Amino acid sequence: MNEEILSILSDNPIIAAVKNDTEVDLCCKSDKKAVFVLYGSVNSIADIVKRLKSHDKTVFVYVDLLDGLSVSQAAVEFIKLNTDADGIISTKAPLIQRAGSLGLMTVFRTFMLDSMALKSLRKSFDSLNADFVEILPGNMPKIIKRLSDELNAPVIASGLISDKEDVISALSAGAVAVSSTSHAVWEL
């Protein structure tokens, strides 16, 4: 895993998650160093990444949400060949594995809906070889603590992070960072 991103997250553990061009502009003006891009298309993603990189951001693209690309290994290859993204985010194990083989950093996004989801993550995580695991919703300190202790990857808490208490709770439970679309959280 890239030690530089861990250092960035250690110094500034809030990841700006952007859903549109206006939020990219806000993010470019902020002191947040890591960004999750949660929108875009085959036609726009290279420019979105370029704008963020021009402001010294570390950029991860959520490939599952890109318009015009199927959720396939070809989408990961497109990101690698056509953008300067540092990594990808995906809920799909084959995409995480392909991105890792191409030298991209990886964030495996998973939704903790019930005990079966937790069991499935524990069973399959080692074979993923993801750099990070992103747990949603992110305001579950007990689960964050458990997974931080059990998985061989730093945990990022996301989803429903809306205030300072949520951030402190997630970080205190063992998350290395939180990702939020809330501009108020970006300012913390």
Token digits of residue 148: 């931080």
Claim: this prediction has a pTM higher than 0.85:
yes
pLDDT of residue 1: 53
Please tell me what DSSP assigns to residue 1: -
Question: Which residues, 6 or more positions from 84, have their beta carbon under 8 angstroms from its beta carbon?
Answer: 49, 50, 53, 59
Contact (CB, 8 A) for 163 and 139: no
Domains of the chain from N-terminus onward: 3-186 (3.20.20.70)
Main-chain dihedrals φ then ψ at residue 88, nearest 5 degrees: -125, 160
| Residue closest to 177 by CA, chosen among 64, 49, 32 | 32
Q: Retrieve residue 54's tokens.
A: 């021009």
User: How much is the pLDDT for 122?
Assistant: 84
Per-residue model confidence as pLDDT tens for the chain (188 residues): 578 888 888 899 999 999 999 999 999 999 999 999 999 999 999 999 999 999 999 999 999 999 988 878 899 999 999 999 999 999 999 999 999 999 999 999 998 877 788 888 888 888 888 999 998 887 788 889 988 999 889 999 998 888 999 999 999 999 999 999 899 999 98
pLDDT given at position 69: 80
Q: What is the pLDDT of residue 55?
A: 98
